[in-house]
Amino acid sequence: MKYKNILLSFFTIILYCFIICISCYASQNTANTISALSVKGNQIVDENGAPIQLKGISTHGIAWFPDYINEYCFKELKQKWGINVIRIAMYTAESGGYCTDGNKEYLKNLVKKGVDCATKCDMYVIIDWHILSDGNPNTYIEESKAFFDEMSKKYCNQKNIIYEICNEPNGNISWNDIKQYAEQIITVIRKNDPNNIILVGTPNWSQSVDKAAENRIKDFNNIMYTLHFYAATHKQELRNTMKNALEQCLPIFVSEYGICDASGTGQIDIQQSNEWIQFLNQNHISYVMWNISNKAESSAILKSDCKKTSGFTQNDITDTGIWLYEMLTNTYTSHIPDTSQNIQNINNVSNDLQVHMNMINHWQQYTKYYYQYDITIINNGKNKINNWNISIPFDSTITLINSWNGIFTMNQNQINIHSMDYNAQIEKGQSITNIGMIISSDTKIYQ
Ligand code: IDC
């Protein structure tokens, strides 16, 4: 009898373990929204064959602006700006370039960090071999083979990877030269990774998609050709070239564009930019904007005095950034209330406490706007923190609708949050997550 009971308990435990394993597995799978991509006709489709459009942003050269590769930044761009792809641009030849004087291991680790952050955020990620001053991709073909061999071995089991094998061929180089290069690199990648999409640059700084349409790469699946535009320079004529190529069923991916001129700075052209986006949307073409950095140039989405690498507010963003934000979130408006003080204030509560606040949802009901925030508090200090208190000022009049995992009080337009008993203590290096609130406002709030 005793043995029977022991045996019964043993089997019950085994059964519980089994159920727990199954539910962990199921929850892991449902959390992930990444679907394997493939190319059908001139379109990208998901696992169910439904057309899918990727919209995103490119880093600047990672050798120069490595700090934007962080999970908070990517998460914010995804949740607040609505992007689903990030491009990691690794220059091959400029100063600090991978094939010139750059530190290869350091740069590769940055690429890997970028892929990891994007993966954690459930985003697609483009690994960009950013040729530019080295106009002919064959110049560093051996380095490229070794690089893509390593990357495709490492990431062959991930569905969110896209390989871009030559950013912008330019100068005295024909499509045939590019094609020969591409076929060799694609062979290397396909040995390891049979499916993920590969983007191939086209002549004349990735504009001559017509040349690729005349003589496309055969024998491989899931290959796309890139077209790049800068709206203040490239207008209807380039759209016509693209339209013709699409009509010939060439799969095109706009892996880089700007709303300024081709130098990456100067005037921005909103009207042309809107025409481009309308054209791309009509054709379900994916597009990735150049660039997330605070470099003093008009293609950058952050102002040069913005030193943050996440937690951006209205005041941190350039005109290009505002256009991008409004275009992606479909909130074209001439004025977004300025809440620039907010994040700074909450970040400065104590030098040891870092606060990340992300708007993870927003909606409108009648004349009111609703915003849901997710807050994380990190103890960056040397000592344990025994309780915490943060305050978040808003520029407009807001109403607190709901809140959790903190004691929330309102003082005019400021929300104060005090720790609960169960989350008051933060060990050094640790963080408290899942603090949240929903507020409403009569005006739109950027933050
Ligand atoms: C530009 C950067 C600039 C940098 C330069 C390097 O914006 O800060 O000094 O590269 O030479 C491209 C390229 C992209 C360029 C961008 C703007 O792919 O690397 O970035 N551009 O000139 N093609 C068309 C424009």
pLDDT given at position 193: 98
DSSP 447: -
| Amino acid of residue 375 | I
DSSP 127: E
pLDDT given at position 14: 64
Q: Could you say which of 168, 214, 275, 427 is catalytic?
A: 168
pLDDT given at position 364: 75
pLDDT given at position 394: 79
Residue with the smallest CA separation from ligand 1 atom 2 is 264
pLDDT given at position 337: 32
Q: Could you say which of 71, 256, 275, 427 is catalytic?
A: 256
Is there a contact between 34 and 81 (Cβ–Cβ < 8 Å)? Answer: no
pLDDT given at position 21: 47
Ligand 1 shell residues, CB under 6 Å: 94, 132, 167-168, 205, 228, 230, 256, 262-264, 290, 295, 297, 299
Q: How many A from CA of 149 to the centre of ligand 1?
A: 26
Mean pLDDT in order along the chain per 10 residues (447 residues): 66 59 44 88 96 97 98 95 97 97 98 98 98 98 98 98 98 97 98 98 98 97 98 97 98 98 93 92 96 98 96 91 88 38 42 76 78 87 86 82 93 87 93 92 70
Is there a contact between 57 and 65 (Cβ–Cβ < 8 Å)? Answer: no
**190: which 2 tokens?**
């396909």
- The model's pTM is 0.73
N- to C-terminal Cα distance for the chain? 66
Q: What are phi and psi of 110, to 5 degrees?
A: -65, -40
**54: which 2 tokens?**
């990727």
Q: What are phi and psi of 272, to 5 degrees?
A: -65, -40
pLDDT given at position 24: 43
Determine how many CB atoms are found less than 10 A away from the CB of residue 194.
12
Beta bridge partners of 389: 418
pLDDT given at position 347: 40
Of the candidates 407, 399, 302, 334, the one whose C-alpha atom is nearest the C-alpha of residue 76 is 302
